[in-house]
Structure 1
C-alpha cells in the first residue's frame, strides 16, 4: 500500500507538476545515452530479455520510470539508473523514445503460430488496451514488434504475479488464465507485427 501511495505521489509530480513544462527531445536523447548499453541504439534492443523502447508511448515510458524509481517495479539493473533521474529527465526520455521509429518487423518464420497468437489476442481482448495495431497508447505499452522472448518473459511474470502493482494489475488478470502455448503464440504473433 505504501509503495502504491509513493508511486502515485511521484507520478503526480511527473505528470501533474507545476509549472507544466514541455518535454525536450534533444535532452531526452542525451540522457538516453545511459540506456543504450541495454536498450540499444535508437531504442532497438539487441539483448535477450531487454525490451526495445523505440516508439513506446510517451506516458508509458514515463510511468514505467516512475514505477522503477519508486520501487514499485523492481529491476536490479534499472534501480541505480532511475534513482539518478529527475522529473524533467523522465519527461524528456518519454518524449524521446516516443519520437523514434519502431523496429522493422522480421519475416514471420512460423505463420501457424502467429495465427494461434492472433486468435489468443482476440480471445483475450488485447486490442481493447493495446489498440488494434498493438502500438499502445498513452500509458499502455506498444507490444507490436517487441522482442519475442521479452514478451514471453513479461507474460509469464504477469501470470505468476512477479510483475504487479499499480496500472499493471489489469495485465495480471489477463495473463493469469493464459496457457504456456497461448503465451508463446501471443509473443510470436506480436513480435512479428
Structure 2
C-alpha cells in the first residue's frame, strides 16, 4: 500500500484551496458529477445504505479533504477508488461546494433509547467532541458534521479511529479521542449523535 508523505498531501490541499479562491466552485457541475455518488450516498446526499455516510450538509472543506485523501490512497476504500481516480481538482472543489449546499437530513426520528443518548452526551462532553465539531455537531471547515449521521456508520468510524485503521485528516486527534472509548461508549456516542436534529 503506497501512501503519500504528509507534506505532499498538505501541498496538494494548499493548491486546492489556493485555486478555489481564484475560481468559484460550479454548483451545477458539482451536481452533475454527484450523480455517480448517489448510488451509495443517496439522492441529494442522504444515504439509505448501511455503513455509508450521508454527505448532504457536510462542510465544503471536509468533503474536499476526504476526496483528496481517498485519491492519494491515504484513505482506503475499494468502492471509492475507481471514482476518485477519475476526479480532477476542479471536480473535487465542485463536489465539496455542492454537497455543502444541500440541506442535511431532517432528523425527526423518535429516540427510542433516551438513556443511551444521555450516556452518549456524557461521553461527548468527556471527550470534548464539540471543541472541533461545534456545539451543534454540524461541523465546520474541514471537520465533519456528525449530527443526524447514520448511527451504524458512526460506530464503524469510531472503531476505525480507535484501531488505527482509518487515516487521513485529524487522524491523530481522533485516535486520541477514540482509543480510550469502551464499546459501550462508542455505541452510546453514535446513538446520541445520530438522533441530534440537523441545524
TM band (smaller chain): over 0.9
Provide the secondary structure at the position in 2 that maps to 1:117: helix
Task: Name the structure 2 match of 1:156.
Answer: 159
Cα offset, 1:166, TM superposition: 4.0
Describe how 1:10-49 pairs up with structure 2 within 5 A: 10-17=12-19, 20-49=22-51
Task: Name the structure 2 match of 1:183.
Answer: 186
Q: Contact 2:4–2:74 at 8 Å: present in 1 too?
A: no
The two structures have a TM-score, normalised by structure 2, of: 0.93
Q: Distance in 2 between matches of 1:19 and 1:51?
A: 28
Cα offset, 1:192, TM superposition: 0.2
Q: What RMSD, in angstroms, separates the aligned Cα atoms of the two structures?
A: 1.3
Q: Distance in 2 between matches of 1:56 and 1:37?
A: 18
- CA deviations on 1:147-188 (whole Å, 9 max, x unpaired) are 000000000000000002443221111100000000000000
Q: Distance in 2 between matches of 1:85 and 1:179?
A: 38
Deviates more, 1:159-168 or 1:53-62: 159-168
Runs of 4+ aligned residues of structure 1 deviating over 3 Å after TM superposition are none
Measured at CA, do residues 99 and 167 of structure 1 come closer, stay the same or move farther in structure 2, by a change above 3 Å?
same
1:62 aligns with 2:64: yes
The two structures have a TM-score, normalised by structure 1, of: 0.96
Unaligned runs of 5+ in 2: none
Report the count of equivalent residues: 193
Task: Name the structure 2 match of 1:173.
Answer: 176
Cα offset, 1:11, TM superposition: 1.4
